[in-house]
Structures are given as structure tokens and as C-alpha cells.
Amino acid sequence: MTEQELVDGCIREDRICQRELWNRYSRKIMSLCLRYCNSQEEAEDALMEAYVKIYDNLSKFRFQSSLETWMRRVAVNLCINKIRARKHIWTSITEDEYRLGYNDDAFEHLQVDQIMKLVEALPVGYRTVFNMYAIEGYSHKDIAEMLGIDEGTSRSQFAKARKVLQQQIHKSEGGSQAS
């Protein structure tokens, strides 16, 4: 079933198409939700809510991107709304601190599952910006608009997230070498 057929079917409220949409993308969206949410339960709730939104708004999908990208965007927006509702306090760092930069090579030695676990363990602010910037590919400007924060705050959150991640990787590497 092509994306077009799938979307048309879902708009017609065709249960087979709707189920196919669920089967095809629900696990990927769940993975996305897990990266943004604090717990498995919260992520599952976000997944269901995201799908309700997707089914309700599929008629607005204009095929300007892939269906998956559109669905991811819906889910990200939903997760961000949840985060914003929690009134998270964002902390910022100085530009110099940000410019220090960190080496991504450390990530190369890790499995995706390990990276996921490390990302999930990040504090909410770091995690959200890291997910949006490093994984979803949003710009800091977009992130700032979506999260209602300064662009500088977004940058600093990302820098801190990387720093924490690298520290965690080094820790785990050190631990494995010692053993």
C-alpha cells in the first residue's frame, strides 16, 4: 500500500488503512516519544495521543514531505507541548562555554540502544533540545520558537547535553576497561 493510498484510506476512515498506519509507524513513533518523555507510561500516552491527532488531521497532510516525517513532526509537537506544560526552567550557559565544543567520535563506539539509554537519562531540558537539534534536525531558531525560549538557551542546553553525554560515555568506557 502506497503512502497516498494509506492516507486516502485513513481519511475515509477505512479501518484497514488506519491499522496499517499504526502497524507501520507506531514503534518508530514510540521510540521518538521515549526520547522526549520521562517514562515508558508517559511515552505510551504520548504515542496514543499523537496517533489520535494524526488520524484526525491526516486530511491536512499535503505530501510536501514523507508521511513519516509529518507524523514525527506531529509527535514532536505533542511531546513539546507536554514539556512546556510542565513549566520546565531552562538554564543557559555563556557563548564561550558553548563554543568549546565536544567530539562526537565517542558516540561511534556505542550501539544505538546504548545511545538511546544515555539520551533518555538526560535531564528534560537537555534531552529535549538534544533530540530536536541533533536527531530531528531542527535549527536552534526553530527550537527556540517551539519551546518558547531564547535561541541562546537552546544552544546552551544542547552544549550541556553533549557534555553530559560524553561524560557518561567516558564513564562507561572507563568502567568497561577496568573490568
Partner 1 sequence: MMENQRFHSELRDKLLDLESPFNERVSFEAVMKKREKKKRRIILWIPSMVVVAGLFVVGGLGMLWVNTDQDPHKVQQVSLSKTIVKPKSNVKPNPSNRITAEAEKSTRIGESAKVNRPSKLGGFTGDSRVAVVSPSFLEDAKTVDQSNLVVSAVSETTASVQTTAEAKAFVGEDLLCDPQGIETVSIGFSDPLKDHVEIPEGEYEAQWDPALLKSKWYAEFAATTGSSVVVNFNEDDRLSILGNIYHANYHGLILKDVGRGFMLGAGLSYGEMLGTGEWRVREYEERISIDSYDLVVMIPPVQTVRVYDTTVSQVRVETVGQLSFRIDKYAIPLAARYNFMLGKMAWRAAAQLNPGLTIKTAGDFFTNTEYAAITSQKNLTMDVKLAVGPTISIFNNWFLVLEPNLMHHTYRNLKSGESRGKTLTGFGVSVIHHF
Residue numbers at the binding site for partner 1 (CB under 8 A): 18-19, 22-23, 26-28, 30-31, 34-35, 40, 43-44, 47-49, 51-52, 55-56, 72, 98-99, 101-102, 104, 107-108, 112-113, 115-116, 133-135, 137, 139-140, 155, 158, 162
141 CB contacts (<8 Å, ≥6 apart)? 151
Residue with Cβ nearer partner 1 (5 or 104): 104
Task: Name the minimum Å distance from CB 179 to partner 1.
Answer: 25
Task: Name the minimum Å distance from CB 146 to partner 1.
Answer: 16
Closest CA to 81 of 41, 45, 134, 28: 45
- Helix-, strand-, coil-residue percentages of the chain, each rounded to 5: 75, 0, 25
Residue with Cβ nearer partner 1 (90 or 98): 98
What's the Cα-to-Cα distance from 59 to each of 4, 56, 102, rounded to whole Å?
11, 8, 43
For residue 26, what is its C-alpha cell?
Answer: 507506531
Residue with Cβ nearer partner 1 (26 or 172): 26
| Rounded CA separation 100/126 (Å) | 17
Helical pair 3-11 and 15-36, crossing angle rounded to 10 deg: 100
Residue with Cβ nearer partner 1 (72 or 80): 72
Give, for 144, the enclosing helix (H) or strand (E): helix 140-147
Residue with Cβ nearer partner 1 (74 or 87): 74
Task: Name the minimum Å distance from CB 52 to partner 1.
Answer: 5
Task: Name the minimum Å distance from CB 134 to partner 1.
Answer: 4
